[in-house]
Structure 1
Amino acid sequence: PVGAFVPGPRRERADRPLFGAKQWQLPNGLRVVLAENRRAPVVAQYLFYAAGGAEDPAGRSGVAHFLEHMMFKGSPNVASGEFSRRVAREGGNDNAFTSRDVTAYFQQVEASRLPLVMQMEADRFGAALFPADQLESERNVILEERRQRTDSSARSRFQEAFRAALWGPQTWPGRPIIGWEAEIRAITRDDLVGFYDRFYAPHNATLVVSGAVDEATLRALAEEHYGRVPARPGAARDRARAPSVPHEPRLVTREPTAREALLIRAWIAPSLTAGEARHALPLEVLAHLLGSGQGSRLHAALVETGLAVSAGASYDGEAAGATEFTVYAVPRRGVEPDRLEAALQATIATLLQDGPTEAEVARSRRQLSSGALLALDGFGAAPRMLGGVLAIGLSADVVEFWPARLRAVTQAQVTEAARAVLGTATATTGWLLPEAA
């Protein structure tokens, strides 16, 4: 979500576009977006593909992420590892990320070096090599990444298991983006090439450039470099319908290495692309007033009363398909799990019965807007926000006019959304407990 301000010395009206981005399409189907910004002589290039971990083939979780790694292993005119070395020599930086819904590759460089990074990105876009002799070494890198980020942490293992309990371990929302270990080990080069051929096509990609470049220059550069990538059939998302009820209602995990307990409860929820989309923005406001730290309901009911050391809520409506609304709490030492869970449930029940107050809704609208100032001021904010929504089939207006849409959310809409989602019995509750608990 983005707020009601544009980076810079003056405040803009909330009904004006945040970035004023321009869009066009190349003959091969690639969508190009420009968010011009002249505050510094730098540019950011982001290439989004409308495919993420949720598009992994059955039994091959982790393919999208594995492919992200292999895209740095060379293309016809750029040797393996040379892409990042060239960017670094120019004083820039580059990286990539895989989410449930998208895979994106980005570079941030001085403005005059934009042609260089466009040339290299277009080269691997059109013909990445995936050398077979580097497959196993990269698999080991990914397995080590999984060990460090997930397997070595009791909380991370629990959170992964919780998502699987909510959605099902072999559903597209329930599989880990990095992949289950056994399935990472089973991924073949053919799996990677098949995913690349299916999704890495111009019609399935969005190029977003922000910074010190004008439209005429970017049009010429995009046509010169990306226009040469031939159109090909490829495929769009074709996911099975997401579950409408949780896979398991309850998960209790006892871990000898856990340093503190953790309570999570999640409900399957609509997003801007699935289900009752009209609830999406009110659910963002609801998550804020429930769990945004001091002044929120969960903080008052659980932290200020001494039951928990922290508590919060989260929701992301900018998703391709169904999503989840989550609340969590970390109990204070000595507090019985049943006591904390009962207090959490009572807080939600009161909210559902009475609804939020107008003051709470107004506070959340205000803080959501003003709290986005720092995010908007970040160099990569515009391309990440714009590319993220466009790659899941939403309009750029979702970002550009987010402040006006947020300002229009009413107390009645937040109450209705809360009762439609949190008022159902279809939630998954999970406890991570130290072994001695």
Structure 2
Amino acid sequence: MVKFFADWLFSLGMENLNIVFANIITGVIIVALAFLSKFLFEKVVIKPIEHFIKKSPNKWDDILVKHHVLGRISLMIPAIVIVSFAPVFPVVEELIKRLSTAYLIFIAAVVIDAILEAITDAYQFLEISRDKPIKSYITVVKIMMYIVISVIVISILTNTSPWGILSGIGALTAILLVIFRDSLLGLVASVQISKNNLVSIGDWIEVPKYQADGDVIDITLTTIRIQNWDKTITTIPSYALISESFKNWKGMFQAGGRRIKRSVFIDTSSIRFLDDELFERLHRIQILQPYLDSKKKEIEEFNRKNNIDMTEPVNGRRMTNIGTFRAYLNAYLRSHPGTNKDLIIMVRQLQPTDAGLPLEVYVFSKDTSWVNYESLQSDIFDHIFAAIPHFGLRVFQNPTGNDMRSLGNIFAAKSIDRE
């Protein structure tokens, strides 16, 4: 082919530059033929295959199209054409073959990369992918593949043995450890996270050090991405979950109950013994009747056996409005359709403070959904605040500006009356 163009140029009177221009023209034609072959391969082979795949009911083949696996294969066509015409240029034939072979090996790595990405995407559709993500392991395979491919390509281009290159890399081990520090730590962390099932995609976790609080949306070799509740994305290193403390709320969802732990502060000056009038009024509360009847019988029997003088209220045992209210809340929570009866239900007193006596509600909701959980919690405490006055109790509350204004009006009225 070169001789043909050389003779043609010589016939045109370009005897001094005919060989140079002949090589240039031949090279341009070969390159153009190479890319034309790629174009025809895409139109004749790849397009019909992709069209068939899109009509196919299977989903896994759509993933191959999404990651352009076939398109990357077509990148090999120009190199194959060029290396086929390498003998046309005897002087640089060896160089062309080396460059083309190195290029083909690199494109093969790119194709394998796309296939691995497709495998990762296909795996996400499986239920097991939530607990056993493979993205980290695929990343490790990619890193090892590119290291091997790099060594092979360098050995081809330099015409040296791969073992000689590897021995040179061995001398740079310390530098490589520094360069790939995060990847190595991430690899170890990913194996531990996967083996011990510490975190899965979809888990709600809290990592205070990184101000991360939300759902895990991605786990890779070196990082974990968390979508916070304000829809921001926090990216933390994988090894942070091994070296730092974090909270995983997965157990809460698996247990089927979300904890409500909140206190209401009772004004201690409103606490008193039950008198007959308050007892009779509270006895009309249906869910409280069994408690009042059994407690009254128990206390009367105790006082009678011990000859207690009942003329003094502090002698013996008596029911109080705070204790009865506690019993009422226990019965109310156990009868509430939104609470989980298989988990702890408790109403307890905490250490009194200068803000009153904390009465803590400790119960679990059936529904772990955040919105429904908050709604249930609000409903329970709406009822508690409304029920407190019926037991002769008061909620502790610091004086407000309105309280001070009302008190001032009272003093002002008294001053006017004296005058």
TM-score, normalised with respect to structure 1 = 0.15
Q: Which has the higher strand share?
A: 1
Higher helix share: 2
Between 1 and 2, higher relative CO (CA 8 Å, sep ≥ 6) is seen in 1
TM-score, normalising length: structure 2:
0.16
Q: Which one has a bigger Cα radius of gyration?
A: 2
